[in-house]
Amino acid sequence: MSDFVIAQIRTYVPMAVGFVLSYLVTKGILDADTSQSAGVAISSGLTALLGAVYYFVVRFAAEKFPWVGVFLGYNKAPAYNKPVE
């Protein structure tokens, strides 16, 4: 698989996990009377925050336990070529 595809997988899997986690959290936090715009703002913020936390935790754990990298969607990190100078 190309490095580009691996990089895309490892970027978007944490976003998807952040979305799912924020959806689950908001189901327990948001009330039916909460305005829609506030709900969207909270959900968007939680998505970004939870996705970032998820990515950080998995990358940190993968430093010690390389098999954990599979939780980013693909176990192998992409290897980028250095630009020719």
Residue-range domain boundaries for the chain = 3-72
- 75 or 33, greater pLDDT: 75
CA 85 to CA 75: how far, in whole Å?
Answer: 31
What pLDDT, on the 0 to 100 scale, is given for residue 32? 46
Look up residue 16 and give its two tokens: 């998807």
Q: What is the tens place of the pLDDT at every residue in 2-32?
A: 777 888 788 888 888 877 776 776 676 544 4
- With vertex at residue 60, the alpha carbon angle to CA 73 and CA 62, rounded to the nearest 5 degrees, is 50
Q: What does the mean pLDDT of the chain come to?
A: 76
What pLDDT, on the 0 to 100 scale, is given for residue 37? 61
Helices (H), 1-85: 3-29, 36-64
